Homo-oligomer: A and B are copies of this chain.
Amino acid sequence: MAENKKLVEAITSMEEDFAQWYTDVVKKAELIDYASVKGCMVIKPAGYALWENIQKELDAKFKETGVENVYMPMFIPESLLQKEKDHVEGFAPEVAWVTHGGLEPLQERLCVRPTSETLFCDFYKDDVHSYRDLPKCYNQWCSVVRWEKTTRPFLRSREFLWQEGHTVHATAEDAEERTIQMLNVYADFCEEYLAIPVIKGRKTDKEKFAGAEATYTIEALMHDGKALQSGTSHNFGDGFARAFGIQYADKDNTLKYCHQTSWGMSTRIIGGIIMVHGDDSGLVLPPRIAPIHVMVIPIQQKKEGVLEKAAELKDRLVKAGFKVKVDDSDKSPGFKFAEQEMRGIPVRIEIGPKDIENGKCIVVRRDTREKIEVVLGELETKVKEILETMQKDMLERARKHVEAHTYEAKEYDEFCDIINNKPGFVKAMWCGDVSCEEKIKEDTTATSRCMPFEQETISDHCVCCGRPAKKMVYWGKAY
């Protein structure tokens, strides 16, 4: 048990120091390692396999809606980045600049893409001619760079992986429809696959994307009560089209400006999975996104027939469509349990000589640690059942956590008191004035997370200034 204890002791408990717990988990579960470039990360096999699963599912959902994948260059000439005024103001302060190619200085410096609106616009302006060419719904999977001052693995790093969809439409209505459609793709994906419930809504003008007419967001609540913006979808109206000259000949033969959208989800969401589901033993992965579903751990593996039986169970489960490994290393079972728990593998199977004799095994759920005795003949059915139940329970548990940590406030004292003492979302009314957002941020560090689609009336006046209320807003401290 000594080695087992050592592994577990190496993690800080969540209650003691959540930030340290997070860092411990990403390292101990072998999701990432720090790189020699400050603020960049090495995504290790366990972390990358998660991203691959996210990619696979999201990509299929995108393609179902008619999206096609492309690849744009990673460099943006400075003059191109500057074409849309708000956009360049938002991004220029945090881009990395390439100034030399080989031994020669470049005539014009290039930034490494922080996002690719300008490149897509530059492409679309020559690619779109007629209403027959519309819509174009392109997406790319790539890495982007933002020169952040303070960084944290997955949550904020100088380079991260993401997908960015960029679409062009004939009308404002089509663009708005696509914007909402993709937000729903993200929301459904988070709930169905990641077991993360999200609040869907619109960002205030202060919080919207640089250059967007409207930004929609899904906001998730982490275990510590802080919010995580988990995916965004932007409607650009015809702003970029006017800046870049993207026009099409309509059916009536008049030239019109296109309407555009963009939408993205990144490796940041892996931070969300960790912080929504993790516990003091490490990661807890939702079965539908877990790279390994089952770890078979033989007990007294040197006894005759144990390793063979473990391998047989694995083979049966693999045949039934599960991803399974056997831990037949020379570590103790206790140590293996701790490792499987740290890695968040949804289910472990314990099988020893006695179990074999009795024709059964023990299946242990990672989330509840419930031990379930399973007759070997029913293994496939039971494992399937257990994984499905676990997936459902994890979403339900996360949903209850959001409910239990969502508050309402009518007056400012009350609002500040909750924000400072009860981590979570606060629903409160807002007058629509940016100065109230600024005051709240200054007083509490909380920001407006979104104006949810499902509006409620908490009171008739702004929680901050007391003037007539326009919108109900979710407020919170955020990553």
**A residues near B, CB below 8 A?**
33, 35-37, 40-45, 48-49, 51-52, 68-77, 80, 93-103, 110, 112, 119, 122-123, 126-127, 138, 142-143, 145, 147, 158-159, 161
| In the complex, chain B residues whose CB is within 8 Å of the CB of A68 | 45, 48-49
21 CB contacts below 8 A, A to B, read A33-B127, A35-B73, A35-B119, A35-B122, A36-B122, A37-B77, A42-B73, A43-B71, A44-B70, A45-B68, A45-B69, A45-B138, A48-B71, A49-B68, A74-B143, A75-B159, A93-B102, A96-B100, A98-B99, A101-B147, A101-B158
A37 cross-chain contacts in B, Cβ below 8 A: 73, 75-77, 110
Give CA–CA (A145, B76) in the complex, Å: 14
The docked-state distance in angstroms from the alpha carbon of A110 to that of B36 is 11
- Chain B residues contacting A122 (CB-CB under 8 Å) are 35-36
* CB of A403, distance to nearest CB on chain B (Å): 36
- Asked whether B70 lies within 8 Å of A40 as measured between CB atoms, the reply is no
A219 to chain B, nearest CB (A): 26
Would A73 and B40 count as touching, CB distance under 8 A?
yes
- Provide the bound-state CA to CA distance between A96 and B75, in Å: 10
Minimum CB–CB distance from A109 to chain B (whole Å) comes to 8
A161 touches B71 (CB 8 A): yes
Question: With the chains together, A378 CA to B43 CA distance in Å?
Answer: 50
* Cβ distance A371 to chain B, nearest Cβ, rounded Å: 30
Q: Do A145 and B48 touch across chains, with their CB atoms under 8 A apart?
A: no
- Of B52, B69, B77, the contact of A49 (CB 8 Å cutoff): B69
Tell whether, in the assembled complex, residue A123 and residue B33 are in contact, meaning their CB atoms are under 8 Å apart.
yes
Residue in chain B with minimal CB distance to A126: B33
A145 and B416 CA atoms in complex are apart in Å by 50
Q: Which residue of B lies closest to A108 (CB)?
A: B37
Given A35-B119, A110-B37, CB of A69 within 8 Å of CB of B48: yes
Q: Is the CB of B69 within 8 A of A102?
A: no
- A74–B142 alpha-carbon span in the complex (Å): 11
**Nearest-CB distance from A463 to chain B (Å)?**
35
Would you call B75 and A40 a contact (CB within 8 A)? yes
Our pick among B93, B99, B143 for the contact of A97 (Cβ within 8 Å) is B99
CB pair B98–A96 under 8 Å, yes or no, is yes
How far apart are the CA atoms of A37 and B96 in the complex, in Å? 16
- The 5 A-B residue pairs with the shortest CB-CB distance, nearest first, are A40-B73, A101-B147, A45-B68, A43-B71, A97-B100
Who on chain B is nearest to A329 by CB? B132
Inter-subunit contact A147/B49 (CB<8 Å): no
Q: In the complex the two chains form, what is the Cα distance from A145 to B52 in whole Å?
A: 23
Q: Complex Cα distance A99/B98, Å?
A: 6
18 new A-B contacts, CB < 8 A, other than A35-B73, A93-B102, are A33-B127, A35-B72, A35-B123, A36-B77, A36-B122, A42-B70, A42-B72, A44-B70, A45-B68, A45-B138, A48-B68, A48-B71, A75-B159, A96-B101, A96-B102, A97-B98, A97-B101, A98-B98
In the bound complex, do residue A145 and residue B74 qualify as a contact, i.e. CB atoms below 8 Å apart?
yes
> In the complex the two chains form, what is the Cα distance from A159 to B312 in whole Å?
47
In the assembled complex, which residues on chain B have CB atoms less than 8 Å from the CB atom of A45? 68-70, 138
What's the minimum C-beta distance from A34 to chain B, rounded to whole angstroms? 10
Residues of B within 8 A of A97 (CB): 98-101
